Structure 1
Amino acid sequence: MTFDVSFRADPVRRGKRLLLSTVLVAGLGLSLAGCKSTAEKADEYYQSGLQLLDQGDTDRAIVQFRNVFDLDGTHYEARKALAEVHRQRGETSQAYSQYLRLAEQYPDDLPVRIALARMAFDAQQGDEFERHATRAVEIAPQDIEVQVLDLTRQFRAATQAEDADERARLAEEAVRLAAERPDDPLLIGILLDRAASSGDLDEADRLTARLLELQPDNPQRYMQRLALLAERQDNPAIEAHLRATIEQFPENTQAKADLVRFYMSQGQPEKAEDFLRELAAAAPPDNPAPGADLVRFVELQRGVDAARAEVDRIIAEGGDPVLFRTLRAGYDFQAGKRNEAIAEIRAVLEGVTEPTDASRDVRVQLARMLVETGDAAGARQQVDEVLAENAGHPGALKLKSAWDIQTDRVDDAVLSLRAVLDQAPEDAEALSLMADAYERAGEPDLARDYLSQAAAASGNAPGETLRLVSRLAAEERWRPAEDALLPALRQAPDNLALLQALGQVYLGMPDMPRAEGVITRLREIGTPEASSAADRLELGRLASQEGEAAALAYLEQQATAAEADTGAKLGLIRAQLATGQTAAALTIARDMVAADPESRPARMALGLAQAANADLPAARDQFQALVAEQPDDPAPHLALIRLAAQEGDLPGALALNDQALAAAPDNPDLLWSKAGLVERMGDIDAAIAIYEQLYARDSASIIVANNLASLLATWKSEDPAAVARATAVARRLNDTTVPAFMDTYGWIQHLNGDSQAALPYLEGAAQGLPGDPIVQLHLGIVQAAVGKNDAARAQLQKGLDMLPEGQEGQSVTAAREVLARLENPAPADAAAPNPVPNPAPDDAAAVPDAEPAPDPAPAAEGTN
């Protein structure tokens, strides 16, 4: 079927069809005429944004400007308007982001570069300021605003280079430009630096005031003004200015802390407390932090009882029960009510229906309490629960890292602590723990750096400062130690520990006039503790300046004075025994006992003096009487053990040691003594077990670590697990200069296949312990391992010649085998260094003193 293409339509219908087509076409034309281009729509949003700005509706204006970018991401005017709105509202980050987008799209736009440079300068982003200022100079070097930027850039560079002449020249140029731009903050900043450098405080006052007028929302201007007022010592103005700063920036915690410190420096703690009460009263109910700050201040100023009363008041008035009941439990815990405090915290946690970081903080506090009460398992359970809820919880991570350090999982500890410091870079506790981790890892430089950071983050608190100073003093870095102590003493001028540390630093320098100044200050404080510290420093000064005889004479003077106490006389006896004046020590000890027959310290001193004078029966009677009266006192037990060991009766000494441990179980000094005895008697496994026990209790002890690692490396060298354990324990000995430790660390490196790295350690050990044959043999074995055959022959022969008759052991056997191979090399060995298997050293490679010490404290150093 086909269709007729000529198509004849009804005229009426055809007319209707034409009319319909005309209408459709007209409608289509109207539709096309009413459809706006994308650019036109974008411009409409932009114009709407401008109108809303004129009406003061900034929030909606921002929405309209952002709508522009949905249609046209390169709309210059809208992007710039949005950037300026953010800048006017003080939203610097958002403003900078918008300007930066403009700079990417329009790299030669001068106003954008100027804006970016000024914002970067205000934000103290030096590299960004340099980048944008340099580009502005390239675009329009003659523009006066650009000249200001360039001058500021040059002045900043001269300041960093400490070029005073160049700074002075540039400051004069700033004076010239300021004639045209008197209110330019960048120029005023340079002029302010010029006024401060020349001591023109009036001009500095005018300039800081003007900067505040020009930039009332810039916190840096308030800091500059505060510095000027402090320089002028205008205390009323300082107080008013800090109040104004807090009013302008209510969230500025630094200004609040500064005001409290100002009141304290003026001797007005009541004003500081009133201010903290203002903050606590004004805080919303969901912000208990100001109330907690008030409680801590009251504790510092008026003691725990006052603080506890403050907590009771806050709780009664509806304060956050989680925080303040926990604080109250903490005070109970400190007061010895440990069970009650733990029960209270558990009750607090039972009332928490939805865990929060605040409740997790409480759980961590509970864990710390459990640690102190010896419930390590309970503490770990609490920490595990916290980390299961929030893997990044700082308090829980710090506790976990401390446990990891104790068990030598240093890498795990470092990872945890980095997570904490990512959240809070100034966390002093985390920084101190990081120092512990790197100390354990044998990274002394990193450990020192983190100790320094911890001291700074703590505000130069005594604890963190003293840890840093101890490290610096051990390395004889006296000047940095002084630099660390002085800021801490400015905050706590009467702190005895800080003063004594400073005195020791001056003795170490040596700087005797300043050491005498510290001694004078301690005597001015006048407490018994301060006087004792002064006496110790004076003794050190005399020994350093005038020698041992002068120091001993000083002790005698102290001990024979009418008001001399027992401590002074005991100090003299110890010094006399140490210097061989045993008869004189015996005389003083007898006089002390005659004056006070019941004095245990005097009777103990008499027993020691009798032993030093070879009157062993009398000494033994003295010590046995002391043991009978007080069986759990380790000192007389240790003295009896030493007497038996001196007489060569090792089984008798061990029996006495076991009796002492029965009376004082797990006493670390008695365990230490037993480890030495069983080792000398050849029971190495028992010695290792004791050192493992001591290490589990105090893995921070470098002496215990050395002895444990040395025994493992010496007697278990063929056991990979034992060598790995020794390696982990001994990591902290890296860079050591203590001969015994050098032998341990070097020998372990050799066992791990790095004989070349071991060599300098063993060379130092052999030089520092020339009378120890095993140390000499270790060196010879390692020399052979690195191909120093001639030196090895001589060294091995030297060590073997030093051996006592009949002494054998695995190291001795290995040394003889190596020497034999060196003297009679096989033909295959002629072209290469002699391969030396890692030998299993002998029984003398590690350790404690040959005899247990009478002093209950372990020896100051481990020996090999």
Structure 2
Amino acid sequence: MRLLLSTTLVLGLGLSLAGCKTSAERAEEYYRSGLELLEQGDVDRAIVQFRNVFDIEGTHYEARKTLAETYRNRGDAGQAYSQYLRLAEQYPDDLAVRVALARLAFEGQQPDEFVRHATRATEIAPQDPDVQVLDLARRYRDATLAEDNGERAKLGEEAARMAAERADDPLLMGILLDRAAGSGDMEEADRLTARLLELQPDNPQRYMQRLALLAEREDKPAIEAHLRATIAKFPENTQAKADLVRFYMSEDQPDRAEAFLRELAAAAPADDPAPRADLVRFVEMQRGAQAAQAELDRIIAEGGDPLLFRTLRAGFDFQEGKRDEAIAEIRTVLEGVTEPGDTSRDVKVQLARMLVETGDEAGARAQVDEVLAQNASHPGALKLKAAWQIGEDKVDDAVLSLRAVLDQSPDDAEAMSLMADAYDRAGEPDLARDYLSQAAAASNNAAPETLRLVARLASEERWRPAEDAILPALRGAPDNLQLLQALGQVYLSMPDLPRAEGVITRLREIGTEEAVATAERLDLNRLASQEGEAAALGHLEQQANAADADIATKLSLIRAQLATGQNAAALTLAGDMVTAEPGSRPARMALALAQAANDNLPGAKTIFQSLIEEQPSDLPPHLALIRLASQEGDMDGALALTEQALAAIPDDPDLLWSKAGLIERKGDVDGAIAIYEQLYARDSSSVIVANNLASLLATWKSDDPAALSRASAVARRLKDTDVPAFMDTYGWIQHLNGDSAVALPYLEGAAASLTGDPVVQLHLGVVQEAVGKTEAAKAQLQKGFEMLPEGQEGRSITAAREAQARLDNPAAAQGTVAEGGTGAPEQAAN
């Protein structure tokens, strides 16, 4: 029995050993199975079997290579490249793998990868014919980048010789195509693009090359047919669809463009609303909001997604001023959502944007919080949150929010614009400019993003980059008046007067009232630049004296006359205007301003008062009266007029600004700070408000850590400023924060420009003492105290007196240190 048992165990063990295969054998079985499936045409299952190989044996060369070739043959270049790259890591000297990687990189427009693999292939086997083609393509690319036309021509001839034996090599054909296009040989270019398309019918780049050739030949029937063929081949290619719509529009065939969009909308699955939404936007663009609303009504009636299309419908109501109705409609739509998803979250963000516009920021924040609670990385919600964070000077938090957006959508122009705002707040102008440039590019040079970039470049007097930014935007919107005006101003500033005249001519050709007015403004600037202010003023007088001159032209002349000191002429013209139109408020306002300029203050005040009595909510006469009182030194009267104006126009920012300045001069610093805080809460993007708030906090509240922290956050944007008042604010805050060395050049610049401001002079003296410039500090502090009005006090002035005392009695200052004091001038200034 024991013998039988032993025999059974031995037999069982033998059977187990016989039935157990090694991992290499199992991997080989999967590989063979994959090959069989490939022969049968079952590619998907073959791929599964090859991948099973790698679960067992990750370095199986043949399986990996076959899988890479399989992906390449079916047109999946990304997967093919990935598999070949794994082989290159495992077998770095495999020539076939390097050649395959180089060609895939070339076709995928990855130049750095192409150079890397082509170079390695050349090192492995420089005489190999395939490698020589790669090397030729690499050298041709280098010559193109270097703009070495002689070398390019030489390499093009070499490519032609190689092509005699390798007529269908795509790399060589690409070089020959470039050569044909450069020489204008359209027949050869036609042959090459057609053949490349035959050889690689699954390569989108070949379709783009063919389209470029057809566009160059202006073969419009062929362009349309080719675009339709591209769409049929690549149904997900949104670029080709957009190109076809643009083609129809360029041919003035909006009906055909709309018909094509209707085709796409009809063919789209029910769960893909994008084509219908595209159709609605096109109808709005071509036939207006009412037609788009009718289209939405039809889509909704036919069962279109109510969450999306009713929200779009509400958006039109919102634009038409039916704000409450639109918001109520969206809330109703959201109430019907039982399972939150991406679409409902997008709608909530849209609702939040509407609430922001209506002033309900609390409601908007609640919507955004709900969205982020469901999806912490929702781009729309994060952008709104970042905008609020920027407004609250939480710049670092805003940058983190926006990076999360850009990680998901690298081409989000709105996120890039917000990132520029954030870096502006952080005092990083170079980064801000870079993001403005990226935003313009990501928006396809849309006017709003382009104009923001141009404004920044113009502020830095970088005229050539500004021109480079505007021209692509104008190609997309050739009649955009803001872009044309910006381009005209750039040319005037360069100066490039002939091209400025070209812009002026274009504006006059457009012919609308606004375009002609813009052209006139630019033309006046051109005249002033070319022939002087007298010539520009003469031109304006000629226009104002014409029989058909309107009041706007005459007012422009009066403003110019007052600006150039021709006060009597301005008074005469304004008087004539009032005589002709006694009831005209603009003419009476101009007359009052001219009387004030001619020292007839009682007459001016009488007119301003009558204008206010007739229309209390009209701001300009209020401001003019306040300005006159201030100029006369009547601060109490100016403040009384400001309060009177605020009673008629509550919370007006200009009036609040006036009040803040007046009460600050009267010594009510806390009241001025409160007003600036109010203005800052309403518009924290105002650099002037930010400076004034930070300056008051730093100058008068520097002993309050919370106030100093607030001033530091608000003033971050002033870094690298060259505006004297801003330099004083930023420099003094840096000193208060313990960095007097950084503060010094700012305060030197401020003191050199603001020579009549005693506090600025004292700031410089305090900082000079802090960095050890003893003699300069003594003289500077003395200068500041001599200028200081009697009785004026404050923390900055106290700090200056303490610094002067240390300079006058250094032994006492040293004694303070010996007794345990800090002895640090920066601390004393606090």
TM-score surpassing 0.5?
yes
Cα distance in structure 2, aligned partners of 1:537 and 1:223: 41
1:384-416 deviation digits (Å, cap 9, x = unpaired) = 101100111111111111111111111111111
1:776 equivalent to 2:761? Answer yes
Residues 247-278 of structure 1: CA deviation (Å, up to 9, x unaligned): 11110111111111122122221221111111
For 1:20-59, what aligned pairs fall within 5 Å after superposition? 36-59=21-44
Letter in 2 for 1:424: S
Give the aligned partner of residue 825 of structure 2: 836
1:808 offset after TM fit, Å? 5.0
Task: Name the CA distance, whole Å, in 2 between partners of 1:34 and 1:443.
Answer: 71
The alignment status of 1:283 with 2:268, answered yes or no, reads yes
- Could you give the per-residue CA deviations for residues 20-72 of structure 1, whole angstroms, max 9, x where no partner exists? 98898778767766655544443333222222221112222223323333443
Corresponding residue of 2:528: 543
2:647 paired residue among 637, 662, 665: 662
SS in 1 for 2:759: helix
CA distance in 1, matches of 2:633, 2:55: 94
Aligned residue identity for 1:683: D
Change (3 A) 1:839 1:550: farther
Indicate the larger mover: 87-96 or 50-59: 87-96
Q: Which residue of 2 aligns with 1:606?
A: 591
**Alpha-carbon distance change, 690 to 37 in structure 1, aligned in 2, over 3 angstroms:** closer
Deviations 1:403-444 (A, max 9, x none): 111111111111111111111111111111111111111111
Letter in 1 for 2:825: V
**CA distance in 2 between partners of 1:532 and 1:350 (Å):** 50
Contact 2:308–2:343, Cα closer than 8 Å, also in 1: yes
Shift of 1:227: 1.6
What are the equivalent positions in structure 2 for 1:560-575 lying under 5 Å apart? Answer: 560-575=545-560
Structure 2, gaps ≥5 residues long: none
Deviations 1:173-207 (A, max 9, x none): 22222122111111111111222222222212211
Do the aligned partners of 1:811 and 1:839 also contact (CA within 8 Å) in 2?
A: no
CA 308–839 in structure 1, closer or farther in 2 if over 3 Å, else same: farther
User: Which stretch has the larger CA shift, 523-532 or 407-416?
Assistant: 523-532
Equivalent AA in structure 1 for residue 359 of structure 2: G
1:402 maps onto 2:391 in alignment: no
Q: Which has the higher contact order (CA 8 A, sep 6+)?
A: 1
Offset, 1:790: 2.7
Does the aligned pair in 2 maintain the 1:715–1:840 contact within 8 Å? no
Return the alpha-carbon distance in structure 2 between the equivalents of residues 644 and 30 of structure 1.
112
Q: Does 1:300 align with 2:289?
A: no
1:670-689 alignment, distance < 5 Å: 670-689=655-674
Question: Is residue 634 of structure 2 the alignment partner of residue 649 of structure 1?
Answer: yes
The alpha-carbon deviation at position 465 of structure 1 amounts to 0.9
Judge which range, 507-516 or 550-559, deviates more.
550-559
Q: CA deviation at 1:766?
A: 2.0
1:156 correspondence with 2:145: no
C-alpha distance in 2 between matches for 1:51 and 1:828: 94
2:330 to 345, 351, 355: 345
Question: Residue 248 of structure 1 aligns with which residue?
Answer: 233
Aligned match for 2:471, one of 459, 482, 486: 486
Partner Cα distance (2:85, 2:572) in 1: 86
Structure 1 residue 451 corresponds to structure 2 residue 440: no
Q: Provide the C-alpha distance between the structure 2 equivalents of 1:27 and 1:812, rounded to a whole number of angstroms.
A: 101
Write out aligned runs for 1:386-785 (5 A): 386-785=371-770
Say if 1:61 and 1:482 are closer, same or farther in 2 by CA, change over 3 A.
same
> What amino acid does structure 2 have at the position aligned with 1:165?
G
Please give the residue correspondences for 1:261-340 in structure 2 after superposition, counting only pairs within 5 Å: 261-340=246-325
1:475 Cα deviation (Å)?
0.6
Deviations 1:64-88 (A, max 9, x none): 3233334433332222222222222
Residues 290-332 of structure 1, C-alpha deviation per residue, up to 9 Å, x if partnerless?
0000110111111101111111111111111111101100000
Residues 765-817 of structure 1 show CA distances to partners (whole Å, capped at 9, x for unaligned) of 12222332322222222222222223223333333333456655544454344
- Report the AA paired with residue 723 of structure 1: L
Are 1:86 and 2:71 an aligned pair? yes
| Contact 1:717/1:839 (8 A) holds in 2 | no
Distance 1:582 1:107 in 2: 84
Aligned pair in 2 of structure 1 residues 547, 791: CA closer, same or farther (>3 Å)? farther
Identity of aligned residues (%): 78
RMSD over aligned CA atoms reads: 2.4
TM-aligned CA deviation for residue 113 of structure 1: 2.1
The counterpart of 1:220, out of the listed 184, 205, 224, is 205
Task: Provide the rounded CA distance (Å) in 1 between the counterparts of 2:491 and 2:9.
Answer: 102
Counterpart CA distance in 2 for 1:26 and 1:648 is 118
Quick one: which amino acid aligns to residue 112 of structure 2? Answer: D
**Distance verdict in 2 for CA 1:772–1:102, change over 3 Å:** same
Alpha-carbon spacing, 1:770–1:550, altered in 2? closer, same or farther (3 Å)? farther
The one-letter code matched in structure 2 to 1:836 is P
- For 2:316 and 2:73, locate their aligned partners in 1 and report how far apart those are by CA, in whole Å: 49
Tell me, yes or no, if the aligned pair for 1:714 and 1:840 is still in contact at 8 Å: no
Counterpart code for 2:57: D
Q: How does 1:229-240 map onto structure 2 within 5 Å?
A: 229-240=214-225
Change beyond 3 A, Cα 1:546–1:27: closer
Inter-CA distance 317–794: structure 2 relative to 1 (3 Å threshold): same
**Residues 599-629 of structure 1, C-alpha deviation per residue, up to 9 Å, x if partnerless?**
1111112222222222222222211111111
User: Residues 72 and 466 (structure 1 numbering): CA distance in 2 closer, same or farther, change over 3 Å?
Assistant: closer
Shift of the alpha carbon at 1:122? 1.9
Give yes or no for the alignment of 1:379 onto 2:364.
yes
Quote the Cα distance in structure 2 between the aligned partners of 1:103 and 1:840. 65
Point out the more displaced range, 65-74 or 366-375. Answer: 65-74
Paired residue type of 2:231: I
CA separation of 1:827 and 1:31: change in aligned 2, threshold 3 A? closer
- Preserved contact between residue 700 and residue 794 of structure 2 (Cα < 8 Å): no
CA deviation profile, 1:182-241 (whole Å, cap 9, x unmatched): 111111111112222222222122111111111111111111111222222222222111
Following superposition, the deviation at residue 279 of structure 1 comes to 0.8
Distance 1:301 1:838, change over 3 A: farther
Which stretch shows the higher mean deviation, 764-773 or 673-682? Answer: 764-773
Partner of 1:3: none
What is the alpha-carbon distance in structure 1 between the residues aligned to residue 750 and residue 382 of structure 2? 39
Q: Distance in 1 between matches of 2:376 and 2:110?
A: 33
The one of 159, 178, 196 equivalent to 1:193 is: 178
- 1:664 deviates by 0.8
Following TM superposition, by how much is the alpha carbon of 1:699 offset from its aligned partner in structure 2, in angstroms? 0.7
Whole-angstrom CA distance in 2 between matches of 1:807 and 1:347: 61
Most deviating of 211-220 and 816-825: 816-825
1:137 aligns with: 122
Deviations 1:328-375 (A, max 9, x none): 000001111111111110111011111111111111111111111111
Whose radius of gyration is greater, 1 or 2? 1
The verdict on how the C-alpha distance between 1:630 and 1:797 changes in structure 2, with shifts beyond 3 A counting, is same
On the 8 A contact 1:716/1:840 being kept in 2, the answer is: no
Alignment partners' CA distance in 2, 1:361 and 1:370: 14
How many angstroms does 1:734 deviate by?
1.3
1:655-677 Cα deviation digits (max 9, x unpaired) = 22111111111011111111111
Counterpart residue number, 1:69: 54
Matched letter for residue 128 of structure 2: D
**Contact in 2 for aligned 1:559/1:568 (Cα 8 Å):** yes
In the alignment, the residues of structure 2 paired with residue 498 and residue 526 of structure 1 have an alpha-carbon distance, to the nearest angstrom, of: 16
Aligned equivalents of 2:776 and 2:659: distance in 1? 38
Cα pair distance change 1:238/1:787, threshold 3 Å: same
State the SS of the aligned residue for 1:180.
coil
What TM-score, normalized to structure 1?
A: 0.91
Contact 1:810 1:839 in 2 (8 A): no
> Residues of 2 paired with 1:838 and 1:267: CA distance?
72
Secondary structure at the aligned position of 2:455 is classed as helix
CA-CA distance at 1:540 after TM superposition: 1.2
Return 197-206 or 799-808, whichever deviates more.
799-808
Instruction: Please list every run of 5 or more consecutive structure 1 residues that lacks an aligned counterpart in the other structure.
Output: 1-12, 842-864
Verify the 8 A CA contact 2:700 2:796 in the aligned structure 1: no
